[in-house]
């Protein structure tokens, strides 16, 4: 492992067993926790969230590049959310064939028609990257996607650095342990939520975490909640069903849920079609969007995170629309783009289909979905595209060049999984926060990072999906 953990440690079976025990106990001690699969809504039985035994080497220059560009991505997402003409144009073909995106878009249109009740905008984003391996052995930073809703693991990522420091110290790698960076996204995310709450202007009003029915990952959210309570900001946790049953707006459009005035709605749910189990769920989403509460994200920011918008942004001249007279910013953002191709009906889309069918292993087919485990690879790309050939259904997807990171050996620690060495691929996420009040941006920050690692045998899937595990970068 180049400038990482030496082979004499990686191959020492007895030492690895000892270090795994140290690591698991350190994770429990630090609060790197998840509820178990069998009791996802009870905290009587918890386990450590899955993580790597060792931190993964990441080139320092590329890591710093990812941090430096994040505030520009925050600005870009915010500007897109304020540009209804761009969203209409970008998503026109998608909403014809993708019902979920179309439902979201109809809410967006209704809010535009009525006028936004709230001028405070809160964004908690995470931009995800992989390091593409160049022929000369160097790596370049390439964006996979930007998450504008329910960007998770900011809480647990704040707790993992001390776990890897402890493992490295016990392994006799003191110098390496000191290269694990401090990282506290939970505090950074909470700081932005606190600013929005403060601007809302009511000490009695709460921050409402809108959460899923199954809450295995509750401790990740509790980290952010804890940071808010430190600031004496009340929080409540509610599901869509609670909003449907007890939610209402008063004459000033203030949102009340179960008797609580809501200053901020923080969506940790609502990003997948299966989250909307009934028309009442959709009505609840509309109720929240129409309210005076600050939404994180609001509906237009949610749409700004779609894959189709990502693909359109990669077209020549589009970034310049949002950053006129800022060629340096355009250059920094564009440097992180990989190849992105339209599948809209027409000559350009036909060309994309032919390219994908000729060499499917070079690409990833991406639907307009969040949450991991949705992307399509290899021969499955051919099956989907041949089934939709010449059909408007293909416009529900975009095609992206497959990023090819270098594999690194590591051990993935998971409850009930055998301890074995694996070839691993990593994904770097960078958290960004911003708050805008009317036309004034009052906060725009990079709030920390998240490294996730998975076995190279898996093409897709995140930590919550049970494929990737938490990790830390060891800068080299």
What is the per-residue pLDDT across 241-283, written as a single tens digit (0 to 9) for each?
999 999 999 999 999 999 999 999 999 999 999 999 999 999 9
User: Residue 72: left (phi > 0), alpha (psi -120 to 50), or beta?
Assistant: alpha
- Residues 203-231: tens digit of each pLDDT: 999 999 999 998 999 999 999 999 999 99
Q: Are 473 and 449 in contact (CB under 8 A)?
A: yes
Comparison of pLDDT for 55 and 3, the residue scoring more = 55
Selecting among 152, 291, 426, 444, the annotated active-site residue is 152
137 pLDDT band, cuts 50/70/90, is confident
Q: Is residue 137 part of an annotated ligand binding site?
A: no
For residue 237, indicate whether it is catalytic.
no
200: which residues sit within 8 A by CB, 6+ positions away?
120, 263, 264, 293, 294
Determine the CATH number of domain 339-402.
Answer: 3.30.1490.50
Tell me what the mean pLDDT of segment 27-42 comes to.
Answer: 93
pLDDT at 376: 93
Domain boundaries, the chain: 7-338+403-475, 339-402
pLDDT at 322 over 50: yes
pLDDT at 404 over 80: yes
Q: Is residue 402 part of an annotated ligand binding site?
A: yes
pLDDT at 390: 67
pLDDT at 3: 62
φ, ψ of residue 27 to 5 degrees: the values are: -65, -45
For residue 126, indicate whether it is catalytic.
yes
The runs of H, that is alpha helices, within 207-296 are: 218-230, 240-246, 279-290
Selecting among 74, 93, 123, 126, the annotated active-site residue is 126
- Residues 405-462: tens digit of each pLDDT: 999 999 999 998 999 999 999 999 999 999 999 999 999 999 999 999 999 886 655 5
What stretch of H or E contains 436? strand 421-437
For residue 366, indicate whether it is catalytic.
yes
Selecting among 145, 176, 212, 289, the annotated active-site residue is 145
Tell me what the mean pLDDT of segment 352-376 comes to.
Answer: 90
DSSP letter string over 157-216?
A: HTTSHHHHHHHHHHTT-HHHHTTBPP--HHHHHHHHHHHHHHHHT-TT-EEEEE--SS-T
Selecting among 371, 378, 461, 466, the annotated active-site residue is 371
Instruction: Using alpha carbons, select from 60, 50, 61, 54 the residue that is nearest to residue 6.
Output: 54
Q: Is residue 304 part of an annotated ligand binding site?
A: no
Q: Is residue 454 part of an annotated ligand binding site?
A: yes
463 pLDDT band, cuts 50/70/90, is low
pLDDT at 2: 47
For the chain, give the mean pLDDT: 95
Tell me how far apart the alpha carbons of residues 107 and 121 are, in angstroms, rounded to a whole number: 17
Structure tokens at 338: 């990989």
pLDDT at 1 over 50: no
pLDDT at 300: 98
Tell me what the mean pLDDT of segment 72-86 comes to.
Answer: 98
Q: Is residue 420 part of an annotated ligand binding site?
A: no
Q: Is residue 38 part of an annotated ligand binding site?
A: no
Selecting among 191, 290, 370, 472, the annotated active-site residue is 370
Selecting among 173, 254, 307, 394, the annotated active-site residue is 307
Selecting among 66, 125, 147, 444, the annotated active-site residue is 147
Tell me what the mean pLDDT of segment 61-84 comes to.
Answer: 98
Selecting among 35, 184, 452, 462, the annotated active-site residue is 452
Q: Is residue 307 part of an annotated ligand binding site?
A: yes
Q: Is residue 372 part of an annotated ligand binding site?
A: yes
Q: Is residue 394 part of an annotated ligand binding site?
A: no
For residue 370, indicate whether it is catalytic.
yes
Residue 393 CA from chain centroid, whole number: 26
pLDDT at 135: 77
For residue 390, indicate whether it is catalytic.
no
Q: Is residue 427 part of an annotated ligand binding site?
A: yes
For residue 371, indicate whether it is catalytic.
yes
Four-point Cα dihedral 190, 330, 365, 397, nearest 10: 90
369 pLDDT band, cuts 50/70/90, is confident
For residue 432, indicate whether it is catalytic.
no
- The count of other CB atoms within 10 Å of the CB of residue 245 is 13
Predicted model pTM = 0.95
464 pLDDT band, cuts 50/70/90, is low
Q: Are 442 and 435 in contact (CB under 8 A)?
A: yes
């Amino acid at each position: 492992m180049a400038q990482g953990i030496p082979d004499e440690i990686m191959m020492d079976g007895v030492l690895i067993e000892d270090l795994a025990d140290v690591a698991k106990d350190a994770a429990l001690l630090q609060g790197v926790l998840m509820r178990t699969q069998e009791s996802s809504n009870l905290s009587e039985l918890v386990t450590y969230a899955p993580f790597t035994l060792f931190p993964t080497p990441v080139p320092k220059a590329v890591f710093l590049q990812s941090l430096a560009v994040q505030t520009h991505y925050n600005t870009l997402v915010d500007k897109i959310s304020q540009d209804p003409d761009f969203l209409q144009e970008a998503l026109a073909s998608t909403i014809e064939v993708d019902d979920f995106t179309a439902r979201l878009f109809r809410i967006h249109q209704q809010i535009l028609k009525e006028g936004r009740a709230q001028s405070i905008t809160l964004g908690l984003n995470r931009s995800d990257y992989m390091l593409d391996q160049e022929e000369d052995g160097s790596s370049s930073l390439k964006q996979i996607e930007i998450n504008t809703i329910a960007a998770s693991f900011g809480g647990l990522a704040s707790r993992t650095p001390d776990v890897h420091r402890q493992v490295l110290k016990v392994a006799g790698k003191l110098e390496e342990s000191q290269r694990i960076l401090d990282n506290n996204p939970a505090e950074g995310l909470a700081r932005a939520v606190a600013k929005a709450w403060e601007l809302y202007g009511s000490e009695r009003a709460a921050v409402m975490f809108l959460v899923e029915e199954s809450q295995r990952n509750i401790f990740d959210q509790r980290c952010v909640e804890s940071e808010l309570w430190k600031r004496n900001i009340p929080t409540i946790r509610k599901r869509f069903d609670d909003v449907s049953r007890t939610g209402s707006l008063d004459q000033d459009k203030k949102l009340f849920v179960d008797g609580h005035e809501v200053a901020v709605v923080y969506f940790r749910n609502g990003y997948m079609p299966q989250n909307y189990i009934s028309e009442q769920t959709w009505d609840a989403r509309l109720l929240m969007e129409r309210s005076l509460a600050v939404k994180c994200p609001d509906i237009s920011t949610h749409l700004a995170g779609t894959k189709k918008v990502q693909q359109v942004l990669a077209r020549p001249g589009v970034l310049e629309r949002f950053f006129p007279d800022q060629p340096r910013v355009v250059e920094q953002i564009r440097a992180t783009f990989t190849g992105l191709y339209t599948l809209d009906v027409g000559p350009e889309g036909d060309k994309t289909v032919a390219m994908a069918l000729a060499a499917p292993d070079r690409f990833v087919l991406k639907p307009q979905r969040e949450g991991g485990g949705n992307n399509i690879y290899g021969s499955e790309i051919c099956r989907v595209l041949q089934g939709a050939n010449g059909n408007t259904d293909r416009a529900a997807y975009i095609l992206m060049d497959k990023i090819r990171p270098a594999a690194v050996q590591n051990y993935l620690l998971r409850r009930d999984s055998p301890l074995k060495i694996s070839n691993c691929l990593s994904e770097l996420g960078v958290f960004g926060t911003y708050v805008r009040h009317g036309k004034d941006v009052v906060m725009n920050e990079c709030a920390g990072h998240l490294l996730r690692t998975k076995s190279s045998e898996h093409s897709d899937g995140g930590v919550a999906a049970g494929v990737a595990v938490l990790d830390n970068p060891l800068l080299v």
